[in-house]
Amino acid sequence: MSIRRFAVARLRMPLSHPYTIAYETVVAAENILVRVEDERGRAGFGVAAPDEAVTGESLASAAEVLDRIGRPHVYGSDPGRIARLASSLERLAPEAPAARAAIEMAMWDLLGKQAGMPLYRLLGGYRSRILTSITIGISSLETTLIEARERVRQGFRALKIKGGRDLDEDIERLRKTRERVGPRIRLRFDANQAYTVDQTLVLIEHMRSVNLEVIEQPTPRDALRELRILQRRSPIPVMADESLLDLFDTFKVARGRLADVVNVKLMKCGGILSALQAIAVGHSADIAVMMGCMDESELGIAAGLAVALARPGVTAADLDGHIDLEGDPAQGLLRLRNGVLEPSPAPGLGITDAIEDRLEEAMGEAPLGLAAP
């Protein structure tokens, strides 16, 4: 069953609680919806969440790739040969991982519907649920403690605290957060490339009583030597995020043992197949893998969750990019209870009739004019 229709649309979703990280304040998620349709009229959906600071893509550049390269290659392609399509797209658009991920996501959703299987089972089905952390942005100590307490009250058992603007304030926020939430809540810290090696070591020295689970990307993305130094000297596991975009980056991290953990995201590596390969590389090198995300529709989170559930190499998840988004047409696709994410049992990404209706409506509200000929 080949693809007979292909369309994309813009999707802007304001955040009910904007947040700040080391280099920006995020007030909304700018996504692109992708829809493919086979000869029997079955539709598959995907989403791109381009981020210039991470993937190098803007909303406009991702849309241009979807039109110029995606449309002619998707139209007439076979959902049963996703690897062939993904390989062609990677060769033709290597600098557009989020756009490629959206296309592949839609094809996998459709393939799951054709096979009558949820995607996480189609990909391997190692587990059926996974704990996710929830992010707390940079804010005052008082605001951080209020939000941490509220998230724990909501059932979250893992918190990721953002930092990188002021070392002393970060240390104080982490200490006080631990005191507020108690010893059983997992605490992760993400500096988003804002620290030097010396600053990170100072933070580590003050974390002895805090029991941090991981320190994520403390140094600049291209400073691999510094990342390696920290991996050697830190008693707390060090995670590579921005330093790792594609499969080759995963191999570099694994070969040089530059980090203890890698953060794999569909939008960074270009799709589900590349993510599965990156997970295998990390797993083979005894490097832990966390499945992460951008600020993206629950549709994209469902795809990331499917990958996280499919493989034993994924040991943690940070799949919270859909939480607090307003106007997400895919809202309700996943089940979140006590900080644990579970997929929908429906085929593909689990889209119900009601959610498909909302996705179709969203496609019609802000079309980018990329319909197949």
The answer to whether residues 70 and 136 belong to one domain is no
Separation of alpha carbons 157 and 176, rounded Å: 17
CA dihedral over 127, 133, 134, 138, signed as positive or negative: negative
The answer to whether residues 255 and 325 belong to one domain is yes
The amino acid present at 212, given as its one-letter code, is L
What is the pTM (predicted TM-score) of this model? Answer: 0.96
Q: Of 257, 262, 205, 196, nearest to 231 (Cα)?
A: 257
CA dihedral over 66, 69, 71, 75, signed as positive or negative: negative
The answer to whether residues 294 and 175 belong to one domain is yes
pLDDT of residue 240: 98
Alpha helices in 66-196 (DSSP H): 71-74, 82-92, 97-115, 119-122, 141-153, 167-181
The answer to whether residues 56 and 138 belong to one domain is no
pLDDT score of 289 more than 60: yes
**Tens digit of each residue's pLDDT (9 = 90 or more) over 297-351:** 999 999 999 999 999 999 999 999 999 999 999 999 999 999 999 999 999 999 9
Alpha carbon 270 to its chain centroid, in Å, reads 11
Assigned token pair, 42 = 């079955």
Q: Specify if 347 maps to a domain.
A: no
The answer to whether residues 177 and 79 belong to one domain is no
Range of the domain at 234: 121-342
Neighbours of 175 (CB within 10 A): 15
> What is the pLDDT confidence band of residue 373, given thresholds at 50, 70 and 90?
very low
The answer to whether residues 181 and 300 belong to one domain is yes
Q: Are 102 and 48 in contact (CB under 8 A)?
A: yes
3-state DSSP call for residue 46?
A: strand
**Tens digit of each residue's pLDDT (9 = 90 or more) over 172-228:** 999 999 999 999 999 999 999 999 999 999 999 999 999 999 999 999 999 999 999
**Tens digit of each residue's pLDDT (9 = 90 or more) over 119-178:** 999 999 999 999 999 999 999 999 999 999 999 999 999 999 999 999 999 999 999 999
The answer to whether residues 75 and 125 belong to one domain is no
Phi, psi of 335 (to 5 degrees): -105, 125
Look-up: residue for tokens 């060090």?
238
How many domains, the chain? 2
The answer to whether residues 178 and 295 belong to one domain is yes
The answer to whether residues 67 and 49 belong to one domain is yes
Q: Specify if 97 maps to a domain.
A: yes
